[in-house]
Amino acid sequence: MSWKRWWLIGYSFFKEETAFQLSFLVSKLREFINLIVIFLLWYALLKHNFHLKNYTNQQTLGYFLYSFVIGQIILSTRLWRIGDMIISGNISALFLYPIKMWQLFLSWDIAHKVINFTISLFYLLPFLFFFHLTPFQHFTLTTYIFFILSLILGSLTYSFIVLIFNSLAFYLTEMWSVIFLFNIFLSFFSGQFFPLDAVSSLLAFSPFAYVNFWPSRLLARSELPPHSILILAVGFFWLLIFFLTFTALWRTGLKKFSGWGE
């Protein structure tokens, strides 16, 4: 697919996302308020001599800010629409588009991530200024490589987890309850609310830790974790497991799919 077509799809998604300006602004304001509430909660705890293991107070505050921005990059996806489209039968219309369905969703995802990441930077900058946080202060070339790989690994891992859940739509009639429970589970076990290695080192090697924890930890502590090669190897192992699981579920589901389309 040509770059011009990628750009047109991404731009049309941006126009769709911002078509209702008030609704768009209110949703972003809600995200900002949510960030302020969580940040002030941890700030108050740290002021009363509460400490997380292996983290200074400055690193703890930084972790939650960076976790929010990382979430805007990795967790921003339009793939959740696939489940509803399967249940309604509308996904059959995508098979008739002049571009492949996965290229279409990839274009939407990239545009979604760019929009959310750009806006989250405006959220982040005041906190960095007032609390003197410096995320890339001691980064070396090796640290940058690990950070970029962890972002790619986290994005792919989360995408395939979402696709696995969407594939269940071939076998279920409702998806919202499954998605709701999964998002609550992910909030805790991906490290959005607390650094996983401050609780247990085993949690840091779960597949969900790669969705948010490792990139956020790297920004907060500005140092490579011990056994960084092993961490990446385990992450790619989980990615392979999720890919094979999704492929099996998707192929089996397509054989029994009988949607009528639009």
- pLDDT tens digits for range 196-239: 888 877 888 889 999 999 998 888 888 888 888 898 999 999 99
Tokens of 26: 């209110």
* Confidence at residue 199, expressed as pLDDT on a 0 to 100 scale: 80
CB atoms within 10 A of CB 76: 19
pLDDT tens digits for range 56-96: 888 888 888 888 888 888 888 878 888 778 877 777 777 67
Q: What share of the chain has pLDDT > 90, as a percent?
A: 9
Q: Write b or e for each residue in 126-165: b if 16 or more Cβ atoms lie within 10 A of its Cβ, otherwise e.
A: ebeeeeebebeeebeeebeebbebbbebbbbbbbbbbbbb
* Residue 157 binned pLDDT confidence (cut-offs 50, 70, 90): very high
Torsional class of 111: left (φ above 0), alpha (ψ -120 to 50), beta (otherwise):
alpha
Among 23-32, 58-67, 188-197, 241-250, name the one with the lowest average pLDDT.
23-32
Q: What share of the chain has pLDDT > 70, as a percent?
A: 91
Give me the helix-helix angle, 57-74 and 101-130, nearest 10°.
160
Tokens of 49: 């001599």
Q: 262 lies in a domain? A: no
Torsional class of 225: left (φ above 0), alpha (ψ -120 to 50), beta (otherwise):
beta
Q: 261 lies in a domain? A: no
CB atoms within 10 A of CB 119: 15
Establish how many alpha carbons lie within 13 A of residue 45's alpha carbon, considering only the half-sphere containing its beta carbon: 15
Q: 62 lies in a domain? A: yes
Q: 194 lies in a domain? A: yes
* Confidence at residue 3, expressed as pLDDT on a 0 to 100 scale: 65
Tokens of 38: 């969580």
Q: 127 lies in a domain? A: yes
What range does the domain containing 133 cover?
3-256
The Cα 186–Cα 60 span in angstroms is 20
Q: 212 lies in a domain? A: yes
Q: 223 lies in a domain? A: yes
The Cα 146–Cα 126 span in angstroms is 27
| Cβ 238 vs Cβ 190: under 8 Å | no
Contacts of 30 (CB under 8 A, 6+ apart): none
| Cβ 141 vs Cβ 57: under 8 Å | no
Q: 131 lies in a domain? A: yes
When divided into structural domains, the chain yields a total of 1
